[in-house]
Amino acid sequence: MLDEVGVKYEREDWGRGFKSTDDPVFRKINPVGVVPVIDDGDFRLRESNSIVRYLAEKHGRADLYPSDPKARATTGIPGWTGPRPTSPTACGRSSTRLSSRTRRSPTRSRAALRSGPSRWSVLEQHLTAKGPYVMGASFTIGDIPVGLVVNRWFSIDFKKPEFKAVSAYYDRLAERPGYKAHGRNGTP
């Protein structure tokens, strides 16, 4: 999102595989101890969707976060970016679990494979009917969390069904410099 709004920033890596979020330095920034978090001078905010909305609003990006209340209410796409079982986020978790479980539990892996594609078909149908982006004709903040989950889906190597609209969406997102840097950059 910072790349989308054109703001220079300093990134610090905390959490799994990096510095511990239990470190007192991090806990001063975020007492809850979770990532992501932004430190915007005297203002700190956690939770990725809140951060994305805040940055769009702060930088006057109505193209990314509409001012119309009805459009704004759906831009965050709670059903698409939240933990609902039909959301791509849940599918992304299934994909990640599938990748980590393949060697440990073939039965659990098969279960993740069966549940993931049916959830992805919801996104496929949505993009086919209302795309080319999650909110329709143009890129919005709703595409940031969904796009990152889509990247995970394509980055993890396992046999998946073909979803043409989701594939086209993935390619379309890759045209955006910020998505190339933080999404489609060779990592899940």
Domain ranges of the chain: 2-58, 69-182
Provide mean pLDDT across the span 42-56.
92
How far apart (Å, rounded) are the C-alpha atoms in residues 61 and 52? 11
Q: Work out the number of other CB atoms within 10 angstroms of the CB of residue 35.
A: 17
| 38: three-class secondary structure by DSSP | strand
Fold entry, domain 2-58: Glutaredoxin (3.40.30)
Is 69-182 the same fold as 2-58?
no
pLDDT category at 102 given cuts 50, 70, 90 is very low
- The CATH class for the domain spanning 69-182 reads mainly alpha
pLDDT category at 82 given cuts 50, 70, 90 is very low
Provide mean pLDDT across the span 124-129.
92
Check residue 159 and give its pLDDT: 85
Check residue 46 and give its pLDDT: 93
Q: Which of 65-69, 139-143, 166-170 shows the lowest mean pLDDT across its residues?
A: 65-69
Provide mean pLDDT across the span 74-98.
50
Provide mean pLDDT across the span 24-38.
93
